[in-house]
Structures are given as C-alpha cells and as structure tokens.
Structure 1
C-alpha cells in the first residue's frame, strides 16, 4: 500500500512539472503526462516498477475518464444531429475502418488466429481526440460554427461506435453469431438496468441531497462504480460499465451538477491514466518508430478522404468539408483505451500498442498546430482543389453571373451572415418585404447559401476577406454595405480591416459595421465606417426594460410580447 502511495506521488509530481512546461510551450498536456510516465516508469528512470501499481493507477484513471466521456454524450443531440452529421460520421467511421483493415493487413499485421493488430489499429485510427479538438476549437471560438458543429457531432458518434466495439471486444477470439448476440444481450441488459435506475431511482435521491455537495459527489462515484460492478457481473468490463453509467445520467436534471462536482476528480484520475500509459511505453526501436509514422500518416490521409468526401457530396462546399477533416485528423485518447483493452486481452502485440502510442503523441502535437492554422490551410487548399477540377458551391452561381452580365449589384449588401444578419433579414421580411429584392448576401456557410437561395434572396458564396469575392458580389455598386459579423467570429480579418478594404472598393457607399469592444468603435470610424453598431447597448436597453417589467409585475406580459414576436419570425439561423 505504501508503495502505491509513493508511486502516485511520483506520478502527480512529474505530471505537474512537465504539465507546466507544456503549458508555457503551448503543447498538449496529454503529451506531458505520457512523457512523465515514460520518465519515471520501468523503461525510463525505473522509479515506478510495480506492475500492480501501474495497473491499478491505469484502471482507476480509465474508469473515471470513460464515466466523464459518458456524461458528455447527449443522446438527444445525437437524435437531432441531422443527416449531414449522421452521413458524415457514418462515412468517416465505416470508410476509415475498411481502409484501415485493408491497409494494415497489406503491411503485414495480423487479423485472426489470436492476433487482431490490424483490427485494433483500424478502430484506433478511426477515432479522433475530443480533448484536443474541443480545447483548440474553444480557444478559436469555432465550436458554434457549422464546421465546429459537424466536428463535434462526428466525435459523439465516434464514441457510440467505440462503445459497440467494446461490447464485442471480449469475444473477438471466438467471434460467432451466438457469441455476438450474447454480447449484445449483455450490453442491452446493462443499458436497460442503468437507464431504469437513472430514470426512476436516482432523481428523487439526488433531489434530496442537491444542497449537500459532498453527497452529490459521493453519489456520482457510487453510481459509476455500481454500474461498473454490474457490467463485471455480466462478463463485460468495469470500464464499459462506467461509460454506460455516464451516458445514462447525461440528460437527467442533475447531470450538470454531477459533472461540475466530478470534473476535478476526473482531471486527477485522467492524469494518472495517461501517466500510467506512459509507463508502459518502452524505449522505441527503429521498427516501432517506423510503424508509428506509418500509423500517423495513414490516420491523416484516411481522415481527409473519409471526412471530406461525404461532406463534399452532401454539398457542404470545399471549406465546410475541409475544416472538419483537418479538425479530426488525429488519434483519440479513447483509441489508447481501446488499444490497452486489446493488450490486456492478449489480442494485440505490445510493439503494435507502443507504435500506436507514439503515433498518438506525434499527431497530438501536429494536429494542435494544424487546427490552430486551419483557416490558412483551407484557403491554400481550396485553390488547389479547384484547379484539379473540384467544384465549390459558387460554381453554379458563377455561371449564372456570367449569363447575367457578371456581378449584378444589389443596393444593400450584407457581408458575412450570422445571427444578427439572420434577425435583420427576418425583420425586413416582416416590416418591408419589398426590400428583400434589393438585398444581397455574401457568406461561405453552405446552410446559409442554400437556405437563402431557396428563399429567392440573392446570395454569393465566398470569403468576405477575398477581393475577388467582393468584386464579384458587386461591392463597388452597392449603396449600403453591412458588416454584421463580430470580430470574434471572423477568420483572417476583422471589422476594421474589412471596412478599410470595402471603402477602397467603394468610396460612396454607406458602410455599417459591428464592434464588440468599445475601443474598436473609433478605429472603425477612422477606417471609413459611417455607422458602428455596438450590440451591447441594445442588449443593455432590452435587459433594463425586462428589469422594469419585473419590478412592475409585468414580466408575464413582457414574455408574452416577445413570444408573439418570435412566433412570427422565419430565421435562417435559429
């Protein structure tokens, strides 16, 4: 016991020290934890030698990580995901697995006869890292963009796919129809039990302890380990049980409270899991490094092929098809979980597992930089893709423009289309529908392009920071030009630069721009704006009116008024 405590102490100390170094050098924390484990483990300095300690630390971390992954899987969102995400995720996972099996068998890895290296690697390479993607997209404020939503939807469905694999994984050595059906029956029994308890037993219990944080935390941990033990009794795994435990309470009323209470504990044990995983990585030889580089290269290429292709054929445009492919081009931390279960079951060689871990490290670093610079990569790639014959959504529009005299202008031009522009269009439609014929929109969101085109509104597909797009859209002929997208959502530009750019193309138009920060207002006027909208002022005015209504006992009337206004609107972006 004392040896285990000493080993955990070393894990935390080195994880923290290398984590600080990773933070200051802007590297993924998971990379720091893996290096920390390797450094103190039996293949490094040898300070942690006990295989029992490593196994206990790893299993505890794995249980908590899967429990938290389950908590973050919202089944309602999957149901509402829509055909684009469903088809994209299906194409990416099935295509990735098929390509993976064929590729890894072609390079000599086993499939069957007790060895399932090719199968485990194809599953591992089909999954992407939620930790890395969400962190970088959050920092870039791209989680709520169309490519961001597609990326997150694919990630959620990947987790469901991994659950299904873990269900049949213990029976791979004797994979018969009866065995598969028995495994599925066990999973169904586990899921039904967990859902029934979470629906009828947990809510009243958590309602009673909602004001006692320590009991909420203890209840969440008890639930996680209880379902884990039920899974063990059903000859599944505790890890899968913890995942089902998280999913089963992901939508119940206290899920947010449970998540908030368990998050700190989760971070602690996830750190331990990755440090323990680092301890199992041997000093690489040439063959391990070579296989790792092959795995990394295959992951990037297969992800681009299997993600870009279905999105392109679903007419999402080159940009919205490329960005999710770039976002997803790495190996998941869940992949390491799958690999480790394979090692524990004797299905995969240690050398193959080590190569997969090295490939994860390589892609974790490269992917962080690639996602951070995805807009520049996409802009450079679109030109190349067009030159080799791929058509973007602006192709049919360009042909129409040539027939109509190229670049027929509109009196009012909206550059960039997000929620403010959607609300503006709905307001015009309600108060002065005749004005819609005088309005043109420029944006590269395929949903916006297709919806506006379906409503008969003139729309140009393209990047508003591109000169050719603006010229083609008729900026030089417009009388009123509206920049409605805030700086936080603009890519490769900001409103001040856009105002200056637009003013150089049209010296006479009235330019209306948007500012998030008060200090930007003067800069935009200096750049040539005629009026700058500061949305916080209108928001503050509305909130003040709501407070007054509440003080006067008229909040219900105020709500009825806004409900009536909302019911009349046909927003492009709800």
Structure 2
C-alpha cells in the first residue's frame, strides 16, 4: 500500500510538471502524461517498477475515463442524428474496418490462432480523438458549423461502435454467431438494467440529495462501481460496466450536475491512466517505430477516403466533405483503451500495442496543427480535386431554378455569407415585403443553406466569399446594397474589414453594410469603406433593457406572447 501511494505521488507530480511544459508549448496534455509515465516507469528512470501498481493505477483510470465517455454519449442526439451524419459515420466505420483488416492482414499481422493484431488495429484506427477534436473545434468556434456537427456526430457513433466491439472482445478467440449473440445479449441485459434503474429509481434518490453535493458525487461513484461489478458477474468487464453506467446516466435529469461534480475526479484518474500507459511503453526499436509510422499513415489516408467519399456522394460539396475528414484524422484515446483490453486478454502482442501508442502520439501532435489550419488546407486541395474531375456544388445544380454556378443574373441586394442573422433577415423580409426576395442574391459555401435557399426560390451562389473570383462571379460590381452579416469569429479566410475593402474595390457606389464583433472594429470598418456597421451587442442590449422594463411594469407575459407569436410565424432557412 505504501508503495502504491508513493507511485501515485510520482505519477501526479511528473504529470503536472510535464503538463506545464505542454501548456507553454501548446502541445496536447495527453502527450505530456504519456511522456511522464515513460520517464518515471520501468523503461525510463525506473522510479516506478511495481507491475501491480501500474495495473491498479491503469485500471482505476480506465474505469473513470469510460464512465465519463459514457456520460458524454447523448442517446437523444443519436436518435435525432441526420441522414448525413448516419451515412458519414457508417461509411467511415465500415470502410475503415474493411480497409484496416485487408491492409494489416496484408502486411503480415496475425488474424487468428489466438492473436488478433490486425483486428484490434483496424478498430483502433477507425476511432478518432474526442478530446483533441472538441478542444480544437471549440477554440476555432466551429462546433456549431455544418462540418463541426458532422464531426461530432461521427464521434458519437464511433463511441457506440467501440461499445459493441468491447462487448464481443472477450470472445474473439471463439467467435461464433452464438457467442456474438450471447455477448450482445449480456450487454443488452446490462444496458436494460442500468437504464431502468436510472430512469425509475435514481431520479427519486438524487432528488432527495440534490442539495448535498458530497452525496451526489458519492452516488455517482457508487453507481459507476455497482454497474461495473454487475458487468463482471455477467462475464463482461468492469470497464465495460463503467461505460454502460455513464451511458445510462447521459439522459438522467441530474446528468449535468453529476458530470460537473465528477469532472475533477475524472481528470485525476484519466491522468493516472495515461501516465500508467506511458509506463508500459518501452524504448522503441526500429520495427516498432516503422510500424507506428505505417499505422499513422494508414489512419490519415483511410480516414480521408472513408469520410470524404460518403459526404461527397451525398452532395455536401468539396469543402464540407474535406473538413470532417481532416478533423477526424487521428487515433482516439478510446483506441488505447481497446488496445489495452486486447493486451490484457493476450489477443495482441506488446510490440503492436507499443506501435499504436507511438502512432497516437505522432497523430495527436500533427492533427492539432492540421485542424488549426484546416481551412487553408481545404482551399489548397479544392483546386486539384476539381482538376481531377470532382465537381463542387457550384456545378452540380447549375441551371436549376434558384441555383447558380457562374456569373448569373445580377441582383440589387447581395448577402455575402449566410448564418443565423442572414436567415433571420430573410424571414423578416418574407414577412414584411416578400417581393423584395426576387432582388436578393446570397453567396455562401454551406451546402445545407445552399440547398434550402434554392428550394425556397432564393437566388443563391455556392462559393467562398473570401475568394475575390467568387465576388466577381456573384455580380458584386452591379449590386446596390451589399450585406456582410457574419461576424469575424465565424468567417473563414477573411474578416469583415478585408471583405469591405475587396467589395469596395469592385463596386465604388454600392451601400455596404458590415458587422462588428468589437466596438473598436467599427471605426476600422468605416475607414475600409463601409456605409453602415451593425453591432449585435447594441441591439441585444436594447432588447434586454425592454425586457427589464416590461418585467418592472408586469408586462413580461405580454412581451413573451408577442415574441411567441412572431416565432410561430417564422420559417427560417437555418433553425
């Protein structure tokens, strides 16, 4: 026990020290934890040598990590997932696994006889890193964009796929239809039990202790370990049970409260898991490094093929098909979990597991840089893709009513970029002066907005507004009013000031309306050539002040009724 406490102390201390370095150098924290584990482990300085300590630390961390992954799997979102997300995820997972088995078996990795290196590798390479993707997309403010939503939807369905694999993983050595059905049946029993208890029993208990934070935390931990033990009795695993425990709580009324209270504890044990994983990584030899590079290269190539292809075939356009493929091009933390379960079951050889860990590190670093620059990379790739014969949406619907792929008919009012403000504007025009819609042209590269606008008879041009050629083809030179309603935080490849300058060079007399995120930007936009600048925070503040006045006068319900009536009449392009 004293040895275990000392080993945990070293794990946390070095994880923190290397975590600080990773923060200063803008590297993933998981990479720092793996290096910390390697440094203090038996293959590094040898300060932690006890295999029992490493096993206990790793298992505790794994249980908590899977519990938190389960909490973040929203079953309601999966049910509501659109056709695009379902087909994209299905194509990526099925295609990735098929390519993986063929590739890894083709280079000589084992597929039977008690060894399943190729199977585990194809599963590991089919999963992407939720931690890295969500962090980068959040910082880029792209979680709510179409490529962001597709990426997150694929991640959720990848987690479901991993759950199914973990269900049959213990029986890989005797994989028969009856065995698979038995394993899935056990998971079904476990899920049904957990969901029934979380729906009919836990809410009443948690309602009684909602004001006692320590009891909420203790109840969540008790639930995690209880379902883990039930899973163990069903010949599954505690790790599988903790994942199911989290999933069953994801739709729980107190799920957010539980997640908030468990998060700190989760971070502690997840840190321990990755540090313990780092301890198991030996100093690499050339074969391991070579295999790691092969795994990393296969992951990137297969992800682009299996993600881009279904999205492109569903006519999402080159940009919206490429961005999710780039976002997903890394190996998941969950992949390391899958590999470790394979090592524990003696299904996979240690050198293969080590190679996956190195490939994870390589892609964690590279994919972060690629995701940060994904817009530039996509712009560079679209030209060559068109030259080899792939068509973008500016050609697919050319000539159909409402669609335009070239110069087209000039319109009096041009809206550059289409997001929620522009969607609301069109709805307002439709409500107050519908005849004005015939004088409006919209330019944007969101395939959903492109199709929805065209279906409603609005003149729309598919194109990137940061590209000067797009502005020329959109007929900017003949427009009378040009509206830039997308804030800088959401624009890609340009900002409002740059767009105003471009537009003014193409049209010296049009009235240009731009949008400012910051008050300091207003003067810059006027200097660039804008005729009027909207500041959303000012209009928002005005409405909030009216709400306060209405509340003081007892008229808030009347104001709400007016707003409800307006919302019921609106049929916007973007919800």
TM-score (norm 1): 0.99
Matches within 5 A, 1:111-130: 111-130=111-130
The answer as to whether partners of 1:414 and 1:421 remain within 8 angstroms in 2 is yes
Could you say which residue in structure 2 is the equivalent of 1:158? Answer: 158
Matches of 2:318 and 2:72, distance apart in 1? 30
Give the C-alpha shift of residue 177 in structure 1: 1.6
Supply the distance in 1 between the matched residues of 2:20 and 2:399 (Cα, whole angstroms): 55
SS in 1 for 2:283: coil
Is residue 443–residue 463 contact of structure 2 (8 Å, CA) maintained in 1? yes
**Whole-angstrom distance in 2 between the partners of 1:137 and 1:184:** 34
- Give yes or no for contact 2:147–2:324 (8 Å, CA) kept in 1: yes
1:139-171 CA-to-partner distances (Å, cap 9, x unmatched) read: 100000000000000000000000000000001
Q: Given the alignment of the two structures, is residue 262 of structure 1 paired with residue 266 of structure 2, yes or no?
A: no
**370-379 vs 394-403, which moves further:** 394-403
Identify the residue that residue 323 of structure 1 maps to in structure 2: 323
Q: Does structure 2 conserve the Cα–Cα contact (< 8 Å) formed by 1:41 and 1:279?
A: yes
Name the structure 2 match of 1:468. Answer: 469
Q: Which residue of 2 aligns with 1:250?
A: 250
Distance 2:503 2:129 in 1: 40
Residues in 2 aligned to 1:556 and 1:241: alpha-carbon distance in whole angstroms: 48
SS in 2 for 1:553: coil
Per-residue displacement from partner, 1:521-552 (whole Å, max 9, x unpaired)?
A: 01100100000001111111111111222222
The correspondence of residues 30-179 of structure 1 with structure 2, limited to 5 A, is: 30-179=30-179
SS in 2 for 1:44: coil
**1:512 match: secondary structure:** strand
> Which residue in 2 is equivalent to 1:533?
534
**Residue of structure 1 equivalent to 2:523:** 522
Separation in 1, partners of 2:448, 2:510: 28
Equivalent position of 1:547 in the other structure = 548
Q: State the partner residue of 1:185.
A: 185
Mapped partners of 1:189, 1:496: distance in 2: 59
- Give the CA deviation at 1:262: 0.6
* Alpha-carbon distance in structure 1 between the residues aligned to 2:266 and 2:287: 35
CA distance in 1, matches of 2:69, 2:156: 9
- 1:571 to 2:569 alignment: no
What is the CA deviation profile of residues 238-268 of structure 1, one whole-angstrom value per residue up to 9, with x for unaligned ones?
1111111111111111111111101111111
Matched residues in 2 for 1:103 and 1:127: separation? 16
Once the two structures are superposed, the pairs formed by residues 272-287 of structure 1 within 5 Å of their partners are 272-287=272-287
Query: 1:553: how far off?
Result: 2.2
Alignment of 1:176-255 (within 5 A): 176-255=176-255
**What is the rounded CA distance, in whole Å, between the counterparts of 1:304 and 1:452 in structure 2?**
29
Structure 2 gaps of 5+ residues are none
Give, in angstroms, the shift of residue 397 of structure 1.
Answer: 5.4
Tell me if the contact between 1:407 and 1:471 (Cα under 8 Å) persists in the aligned partners.
no
CA distance in 1, matches of 2:62, 2:442: 49
- Report the count of equivalent residues: 574
**Partner SS for 2:466:** coil
* Residues 404 and 12 (structure 1), Cα distance of their counterparts in 2 relative to 1, 3 Å cut: closer
Instruction: Work out whether residues 92 and 307 of structure 1, in 8 Å CA contact, stay in contact via their aligned partners in 2.
Output: yes
CA distance in 1, matches of 2:45, 2:89: 42
* Structure 1 residues 321 and 184: CA distance shift in structure 2, 3 A: same
Return closer, same or farther for 1:76/1:276 CA change in 2, 3 Å cut-off. Answer: same
> How far apart, in 2, do the equivalents of 1:109 and 1:404 lie?
49
Matched, 1:14 2:4: no
Does the 8 Å CA contact 1:231/1:238 hold for their aligned counterparts?
yes
Instruction: Give, in angstroms, the shift of residue 402 of structure 1.
Output: 12
- Provide TM-score, normalisation by structure 2: 0.98
Q: Give 1:240-389 correspondences, 5 Å limit.
A: 240-389=240-389
Aligned-residue offset at 1:435? 0.3
The CA deviation at 1:113 is 1.1
Quote the residue 1:510 is aligned against: 511
Q: CA deviation at 1:406?
A: 3.2
**Structure 1 residues 420 and 403: CA distance shift in structure 2, 3 A:** closer
Partner residue in 2 for 1:390: 390
- Report the Cα distance in structure 1 between the residues aligned to 2:246 and 2:282, rounded to whole angstroms: 33
Q: State how far apart, in whole Å, the 2-side matches of 1:201 and 1:472 are.
A: 62
- Give me the whole-angstrom Cα distance separating, in 1, the residues matched to 2:74 and 2:239: 19
Looking at structure 2, the residues matched to 76 and 379 of structure 1 have their Cα atoms a distance apart, in angstroms, of: 35
* Secondary structure in structure 1 of the residue aligned to 2:263: helix
Q: Per-residue CA shift, 1:37-90, capped at 9, x if unaligned?
A: 001001111100000100000011111111111111111111111100000000
Q: Is the 8 A contact 1:33 1:275 kept in 2?
A: yes
Give the drift of 1:561.
1.1
What's the CA shift for 1:34? 0.3
Tell me the SS of whatever aligns to 1:414. strand
Measure the CA separation in 2 of the matches of 1:56 and 1:515. Answer: 54
Q: Is the Cα contact below 8 Å between 2:404 and 2:460 reproduced in 1?
A: no
1:330 & 1:396 partners in 2: Cα distance? 31
Please state how far the C-alpha of 1:554 moved relative to its aligned partner.
Answer: 2.2
CA distance in 2, matches of 1:153, 1:514: 31
Describe the superposition over 1:90-122 as per-residue Cα deviations: whole angstroms up to 9, x where unpaired: 000000000000000000001111010000000
Per-residue CA deviations over 1:173-221 (Å, capped at 9, x if unaligned) read: 1111221111111101100110011001111111111111111111111
Report the CA distance between 1:2 and its aligned residue.
Answer: 0.5
How does 1:424-435 map onto structure 2 within 5 Å? 424-435=425-436
Q: Which runs of 5+ in 1 are unaligned?
A: none
Q: CA-atom RMSD, angstroms? A: 1.3
Check 1:402–1:139 CA distance in 2 against 1; reply closer, same or farther (3 A cut). closer
Aligned counterparts of 1:566 and 1:403: Cα–Cα separation in 2: 31
> What CA distance in whole angstroms lies between the structure 2 residues aligned with 1:384 and 1:192?
51
Secondary structure class of the residue paired with 2:544: helix
